[in-house]
Amino acid sequence: MMKNNPRNNQKGFLELIVIILVALILLKFLNIDINAFLAKGWVKEFFAYTKEMFVLVWQDMVAIFKAIKNS
């Protein structure tokens, strides 16, 4: 039985960081310019849209938690 141990959560977070770093090193090794990719207009629009959606979802979750807490 696996308990909800904070160390397990940290392990998953660290694994994610390592995967991102390996991906960045691989892209650099393959001479793929990350800055040029991120400078494209559609990428900026996508990240702005994604950020807006995360904010809306977060606000909805906070409202739901407040409603549950107050009932």
Specify whether 66 is located in the same domain as 44: yes
Distance of alpha carbon 52 from alpha carbon 48, whole angstroms: 6
Residue 1: per-residue pLDDT? 46
Specify whether 29 is located in the same domain as 44: no
Checking if the pLDDT of 2 tops 60, the result is no
Range of the domain at 20: 7-36
Residue 50: per-residue pLDDT? 96
Checking if the pLDDT of 7 tops 70, the result is no
Q: Specify whether the CB–CB gap between 8 and 2 falls below 8 A.
A: yes
- Fill in the DSSP letter of residue 40: S
- Fill in the DSSP letter of residue 32: -
Residue 13: per-residue pLDDT? 86
Domain assignment of residue 62, yes or no = yes
Residue 36 token pair: 């040029």
User: How many separate domains does the chain show?
Assistant: 2
Distance of alpha carbon 2 from alpha carbon 59, whole angstroms: 31
Q: What would the pLDDT profile of 18-70 be if each residue is shown by its tens digit?
A: 999 999 999 999 998 888 888 999 999 999 999 999 999 999 999 999 999 98
